[in-house]
A and B are shown apart, each in its own frame.
Chain A
Amino acid sequence: DAGVTQSPTHLIKTRGQQVTLRCSPKSGHDTVSWYQQALGQGPQFIFQYYEEEERQRGNFPDRFSGHQFPNYSSELNVNALLLGDSALYLCASSLSDSYGYTFGSGTRLTVV
C-alpha cells in the first residue's frame, strides 16, 4: 500500500516564476494538508483540503494556493516566487476525523 507520494522530489525555480507541487494521499485518506519546512525549522502549516475545499489556512500570503481533486490528490501552487520560499514542502494525508497524519518525503524547492 503506497503511502503519500509527492512530486517532483526536487526543483529549482527563478524568482518571480510560478510552481506547482503535487501530492497523492495514502490510499483511503480523504484529507490533505500542506506544510513548509525551512532548513533547521519545524514545519509551518500552509492549508488543509477536504472535500475539494480549503478547510483551514495558516499565515501564508495569497501567493500560496491549492486545489484538491475528486480522487483526493492535491496541488500546491506558489506564484511570484521569492528567495524566501526556498524550503521543503511537505504533504500530509489523513482521514477527516483522525489525527493519524501520514507525511510524504517532501519536495525540495530552491528559488534562485
Chain B
Amino acid sequence: GDSVTQMEGPVTLSEEAFLTINCTYTATGYPSLFWYVQYPGEGLQLLLKATKADDKGSNKGFEATYRKETTSFHLEKGSVQVSDSAVYFCALSGGGNNRKLIWGLGTSLAVNP
C-alpha cells in the first residue's frame, strides 16, 4: 500500500542554518503531497502542497518539489529561525476518491539562537 518515509529526528540547528528534511513515498497512481507542521501545543497546519510532478510548493520560506523520478518531496529552508521549532510531517493523498492522508512519522526540529 501507499506509504511515506521521512528522516528521523530530532534535528537540531542553529539559527540561520540551512534545513533539509527528507521525505520519500510509495504510491500507486498520482498522489498529492503535503508538508504539515505541528507547533508545540497546537494542531496540525498545512505548510505547503504539490499536486503533480515537478510542482514546487512554497510557504513562509519553506519549499518542496514533487520529484516523481525519485519519489521524493524534500522540505528545505534557506535560513531557519527559532520560531520554526516544531514537528514536521510529510503526507500524501492518493487522489481521486481516495481522500485519506497517509503520514510519515514526523521530524522534530529544534532551532537554537
Residue ID in chain A nearest B34 by CB atoms: A99
The total of interchain contacts (Cβ-Cβ below 8 angstroms) comes to 54
A65 to B109, CA, bound (A): 35
**B contact patch SS:** strand
Chain B residues lying within 8 Å of A99, measured Cβ to Cβ, are 32, 34, 49, 51, 93
Contact of A104 with B103 at beta-carbon distance under 8 Å, contacts A56-B97, A99-B49, A99-B51 already known: no
Using known A-B contacts A99-B32, A99-B51, determine if residue A43 contacts B101 with beta carbons closer than 8 Å: yes
Complex interface: chain A residues within 8 A of B100 (CB): 33, 45, 48, 56, 58
List the A residue with the shortest CB-CB distance to B45.
A103
Spell out A's residues near B (CB within 8 Å). 4, 31, 33, 35, 40-45, 48, 55-56, 58, 90, 92, 99-106
